[in-house]
Amino acid sequence: FLYIPFPWLGFIIIAFTFFIVILVFRFRLIDIRRFLYGVFLYPALIAALVFIYVYLIVRNQKSIAEFLMVPETTAFVLEVFILYLVTMSIVRFFRPALNQPFISDTVKPIDIEALESISYATSLSELSQRLKMILKNYFKINSFILLIKDETSGLFKLIGTDLTPFKIRESDEIIQKLKYFKRGVSIEELLIHLNDRNIIKDIYSEGFDLIVPIFKEDQIIGLLFLPKPSRFRRWSYDDIASLNYLRILLPSLIARCKIYETEKEIERHQYRMEQMMVIGEMASDIAHEIRNPLSIIETSIETIMNSQIGEKEKERMLIYIQEETERVNIMLNKLLSLNFSHKPVFKNVDLYDLLNNLKDFLKYKLKDSNVNLNLKCGGKIVFNSDPDMLNHVFLNLILNSIEAMKEGGTINIDCRDTGTNIEIYISDTGPGIPERIRDKIFEPFFTTKHKGSGLGLAVSKKILESLYGTIQLEPRKRGACFKITIQKVE
């Protein structure tokens, strides 16, 4: 019914119509669901009603009126009313199904629980992981990039690194445009407003379609790059608006995470400084104490090399060398205890043999200090543990008891096998530990000694924890008593 005088004019009209249709669907200028209903569903329903009316009602109007025994006009009104009721019932029945989108064109709104979970982040890396879970659950997005502004250089960098996938500075044109919009902006929208489009090409080549600026007051402190929600769908204004909760919450979370990380870094630095101070003090102390044993060893060797001395004198010099070497080993073990980070090697340990060997090792130290060491183990006790670590713990506790009993005394070691645990009680007859400091003795760097490092008991506790054990101070009227409990493991 349309006459087009020039064929090429028809092609132009078809191309223009096709372009308008694509433009309408691309930028969502109409409601797709209403468009589909208006073009397909409702016309089909009207056609069905017309068919029913023409072929079932109009042709049989007289028969229906005679069957109902009413005039044809009354029958017509009843027929239209019944047809209306049936049609509305069908529409109500299928409406829930019709309201389901053919293609998911909106995202699920973020609920309070998700926002609460992301607020628990205490570091930028943890914040990134929690943000990844939210984007995956609510937006079906598996990849994104979160850039944080470096206050020194002004560059936006990846969390925890110096990498800059997109060289964006605070003074760049793209940042100024994002400040103007104050919302998430699609790549296509930015293309219209930017003069320098090279950065947009880089962002688009990485597969990202949306940039969400993160504001703190009037300054952008972060950039969130997101890909398309799906292969066939881009970000709509409703989708971008659904990100507002994250955009509002992220600035405070980023600031808090930075504060936490700064505090942790200060604590780590302070801890390293304290360690270096302790190492320096102990190294100086041990170096000073090692001089005396080395002098004795050197003198003994010179004496042995003298051919004029007898065999008994040589034997006595060798005993001196052995004793002083043991003293040096004990002092070096104190220094090595500062870094006790290797994992335990479990093997069968005979507890009595271990303690008895330690007693023999310390016999000269015990003799010089006028201290008796008594071992009491009810039967043979064998279990899986690391003998070197246990030896370190027992040696530290015994040396502490020896140092506490300046005028001599007794150290009692009582071992028990309860079936599931091994219990070792190490007690002495010294002055004991005052009540006011009992809760602090296992804290690092806490000591009552003038030249102590305050690490002995802290390291011992850490060792026992790695061996599935515990150590605690038992109440005693006189002296100190430590109870060590070690769980039996296969």
pLDDT value of residue 444: 62
Between 302-311, 390-399, 477-486, the lowest mean confidence (pLDDT) is in 302-311
Reduced 3-state DSSP string for the chain: CCCCCCHHHHHHHHHHHHHHHHHHHHCCCCCHHHHHHHHHHHHHHHHHHHHHHHHHHHCCHHHHHHHHCCCHHHHHHHHHHHHHHHHHHHHHHHHHHHHCCCCCCCCCCCCHHHHHHHCCCCCHHHHHHHHHHHHHHHHCCCCCEEEEECCCCCEEEECCCCCCCCCCECCCHHHHHHHHHCCCEEHHHHHHHCCCCHHHHHHHHCCCCEEEEEEECCEEEEEEEECCCECCECCCHHHHHCCHHHHHHHHHHHHHHHHHHHHHHHHHHHHHHHHHHHHHHHHHHHHHHHHHHHHHHHHHHHHHHCCCCCHHHHHHHHHHHHHHHHHHHHHHHHHHCCCCCCCCCCEEEEHHHHHHHHHHHCHHHHHHCCEEEEEEECCCCEEEECHHHHHHHHHHHHHHHHHHCCCCEEEEEEEEECCCEEEEEEEECCCCCCHHHCCCCCCCCCCCCCCCCCCHHHHHHHHHHHCCEEEEEECCCCCCEEEEEEECCC
Measured CA to CA, the distance from residue 419 to residue 441 in angstroms comes to 30
pLDDT value of residue 210: 92
Between 31-45, 92-106, 166-180, the lowest mean confidence (pLDDT) is in 92-106
pTM: 0.46
* Residue 452 scores a pLDDT above 60: no
Strands 347-350, 382-385: pairing kind: antiparallel
pLDDT value of residue 1: 39
* Residue 102 scores a pLDDT above 50: no
Mean pLDDT of 262-287: 71
pLDDT value of residue 409: 92
Over residues 435-446, the pLDDT tens digits come to 888 777 777 655
pLDDT value of residue 385: 93
Mean pLDDT of 164-191: 87
* Residue 80 scores a pLDDT above 70: yes
Mean pLDDT of 2-12: 61
pLDDT value of residue 441: 79
